[in-house]
Structure 1
Amino acid sequence: MRAITIPEPGGPEALRWSEVPDPEPGPGEVVVAVRASAVNRADLLQRQGHYPPPPGASAYPGLECAGVVAATAPDVTGWRVGQEVCALLAGGGYAERVAVPAGQLLPVPAGVDPVDAAALPEVACTVWSNVVQLARLAAGETLLVHGGGSGIGTFAIQLGAALGATVVVTARAAKHERLRELGAAHTVDYREQDFVEEVRRVTDGRGADVILDIMGAAYLGRNVAALTTGGRLVVIGMQGGRKAELDLGMLLAKRASVTATALRSRPVAEKAAIVRGVREQVWPLVEAGRIRPVVDRRMPMSDAAGAHRLVESSDHLGKVLLLTD
């Protein structure tokens, strides 16, 4: 088969469309013939040499895919050859075939294009596990989402709105209209506006109940300031750095919490539990049309370098897909 390899870390030009051995299903695994994968920020970090795959994972980038079951291990039940699926991966999505633990497979939701389904697994599992499972977002609360135009952001907007929350997002002004169409009640231009002031303004001074943050250090202090009493800040990215000072006095006074999580490195059993939760609680919302994959464009997998350049520019909205055909 062919796959995107990274012989040496570097810029987008480091990605190579190469001939590699076909994967075989290990115990508890399914091999998926990949139709499409999606570009995530973690893929860019891996290409740069900053985010190696966890032990035992494929060396090829790609944290999600959509395709067709091509083979199953003898101990796998519930999945059949030829079935259309999408999957959460620890790596290997940028390839024509990938071996996946069966617990990380999802059926393609009814009404969703089988290729566009590649835009769903990673964002659905990340957002649901953090916003719902961990931060316990409830109807009537306010959710602040940073990076609203990203794959994570566009999904979080839709899930938050579907759950009855008021969603506030930060994003470039050019993306605001689209984000409001997805369900954002309030949009903040992070280049021109102070998101702390805006959150306080639209909540009559209360602040946000839940904040989903991709920036890390650069936003830590302001995120805590933007929380309401009992608020929950969940950090899932470090685009703004790793280290910052934390005002514990403010955190104590607000009886708030700060949590940081990663999905890729979790044990297989934990990922399977998250996937089950997504299938039970999120897939019905997708099939009802209340959440949909947001795809900026489809590109050939052989042009993964071009897709990485696009995502690095942040000029896209939603997901950039890589197609094997």
Structure 2
Amino acid sequence: MRQVFITRTGGPEVLELREAPDPLPISGAVRIRVKAAGVNFADIMARKGLYPDAPKLPAVVGYEVSGVVDAVGPGTSEDWLDKEAVALTRFGGYADTVLAPVDQVFAKPPRLTHAESAAIPVNYLTAWQLMVVMGAAAEGETVLIHNAGGGVGLAVIDIGKRRRARLIGTASAGKHEFLKSRGLDAAIDYTQTDWLPEVMRLTEGRGVELILDPLGGGHWRKSYKALRATGRLGMFGASDAAASCLPWPLNLLSVAASMPWFHPLSLMSANKAVFGVNLGHLWEEGAKVRAWGDTLLAGVAEGWIRPHVDRIFPLDAAGDAHAYIEARRNKGKVVLEA
């Protein structure tokens, strides 16, 4: 099989394609011949040495794949053989062959391509946890989506429209028309204007009920200010650390030092809430995640889950895929094709 390794911390050039023997399926697992693998910002953080959950380097990252099951391990139902499947992988996804625990494997939606199917697991499960499970977005509430043009942002738009929420997003101007065609109600160009006064203008000074913020650092403090009473701030990343010009680990320390402290008494007084989401720490909650996944895949069949693949790169061009995302050029998902 072919795998893309992060050989050391650094820029996209540290990614290297290597050959290895095909893995043999173990008990409770299936082997998938990968057609498409999703690329996520966590992979970029791992490449830069900023992702504490990443395996020790050199390592193969990647959390999601779509392909065809060609072998099953002992005790695993042979019904999966030759079936198209989409799966969560605890790393190892940047490959043309992977092993995945059968309880993290789902039937691929027939109406989607493999690339579109690989765009679902991480982004849509994260968005579901943010919007529904913990954010409790309700009809008529206003949701502010930072980095609305990313994979999670587009997933949030799909889910938000389903829940009849009003959706405001921050994104560069070149993405506004596309985002509105996907269902965003109002777009703010954060590169040209301060988004906070604009949010307050759009909400007649009240603020919003739910904010989803992947940026980290002092940006969370600013987002908290935009909440109205009963508002919730959902934090799901710290991408500002990757954008910092400081060397590691100073960039991570700089972002951490600027993060706000939320005191329980002040939260009670303000009638506000803050919460964090990390899908990679839910491996022991498989039943919950599977139920969320079943709902989302049913949403594909019903037409309200619409994964958008912005660009597909060959497996051996994974470094180019990373550079494309880091330049914030993508509108939606970036995928590797094995």
Q: TM-score range by the shorter chain?
A: over 0.9
Whole-Å separation in 2 of the counterparts to 1:301 and 1:276: 31
Whole-Å separation in 1 of the counterparts to 2:11 and 2:309: 24
Quick one: structure 1 residues 26 and 130, their matched pair in 2 at CA, closer, same or farther if it must change by over 3 Å?
Answer: farther
Aligned counterpart in structure 2 of residue 260 of structure 1, from 257, 265, 276: 276
2:317 matches 1:303: yes
Q: CA RMSD in A?
A: 2.1
Secondary structure of residue in 2 paired with 1:314: coil
Secondary structure of residue in 2 paired with 1:8: coil
Quick one: structure 1 residues 259 and 78, their matched pair in 2 at CA, closer, same or farther if it must change by over 3 Å?
Answer: farther
Secondary structure of residue in 2 paired with 1:242: helix
Would the aligned equivalents of 1:224 and 1:250 in 2 still touch at CA under 8 Å?
A: no
Quick one: structure 1 residues 253 and 194, their matched pair in 2 at CA, closer, same or farther if it must change by over 3 Å?
Answer: farther
Quick one: structure 1 residues 161 and 38, their matched pair in 2 at CA, closer, same or farther if it must change by over 3 Å?
Answer: same
Whole-Å separation in 1 of the counterparts to 2:74 and 2:298: 30
2:166 matches 1:166: yes
Q: Deviations over 1:95-115 (max 9, x none)?
A: 011111112112222421233
Would the aligned equivalents of 2:234 and 2:274 in 1 still touch at CA under 8 Å?
A: yes
Which consecutive segments of 4 or more residues in structure 1 shift more than 6 A? Answer: none
2:298 matches 1:284: yes
- Alignment match, 1:273: 288
- Alignment match, 2:335: 321
Q: Deviations over 1:6-65 (max 9, x none)?
A: 222211111111012322223321211100112111111111222255679x93111111
Whole-Å separation in 2 of the counterparts to 1:24 and 1:54: 23
Whole-Å separation in 1 of the counterparts to 2:178 and 2:23: 40
Would the aligned equivalents of 2:131 and 2:159 in 1 still touch at CA under 8 Å?
A: no
Amino acid at match of 1:305: G
- Alignment match, 2:219: 219
Whole-Å separation in 2 of the counterparts to 1:263 and 1:203: 31
Amino acid at match of 1:310: Y
TM-score normalised according to structure 2 size: 0.89
TM-score normalised according to structure 1 size: 0.92
- Alignment match, 2:251: none
Aligned residue pairs total 322
Q: Deviations over 1:204-252 (max 9, x none)?
A: 3322211111011131121111112111111001123333234647634
Whole-Å separation in 1 of the counterparts to 2:276 and 2:69: 34
Gaps of 5+ in 2: 241-254
2:111 matches 1:103: no
- Alignment match, 1:230: 230
Quick one: structure 1 residues 313 and 85, their matched pair in 2 at CA, closer, same or farther if it must change by over 3 Å?
Answer: same
Whole-Å separation in 2 of the counterparts to 1:272 and 1:28: 15
Secondary structure of residue in 2 paired with 1:192: coil
Would the aligned equivalents of 1:146 and 1:213 in 2 still touch at CA under 8 Å?
A: yes
- Alignment match, 1:66: 66
Q: Deviations over 1:282-307 (max 9, x none)?
A: 22222222221111111101111111
Whole-Å separation in 2 of the counterparts to 1:86 and 1:4: 19
Quick one: structure 1 residues 72 and 196, their matched pair in 2 at CA, closer, same or farther if it must change by over 3 Å?
Answer: same
Whole-Å separation in 2 of the counterparts to 1:25 and 1:129: 31
Amino acid at match of 2:141: E
Question: How far did 1:90 drift?
Answer: 1.7
Would the aligned equivalents of 2:72 and 2:78 in 1 still touch at CA under 8 Å?
A: no
2:28 matches 1:14: no
Whole-Å separation in 2 of the counterparts to 1:271 and 1:144: 29
Amino acid at match of 2:174: A
Secondary structure of residue in 2 paired with 1:178: helix
Q: Point out the more displaced range, 200-209 or 160-169.
A: 200-209
Amino acid at match of 1:321: V
Gaps of 5+ in 1: none
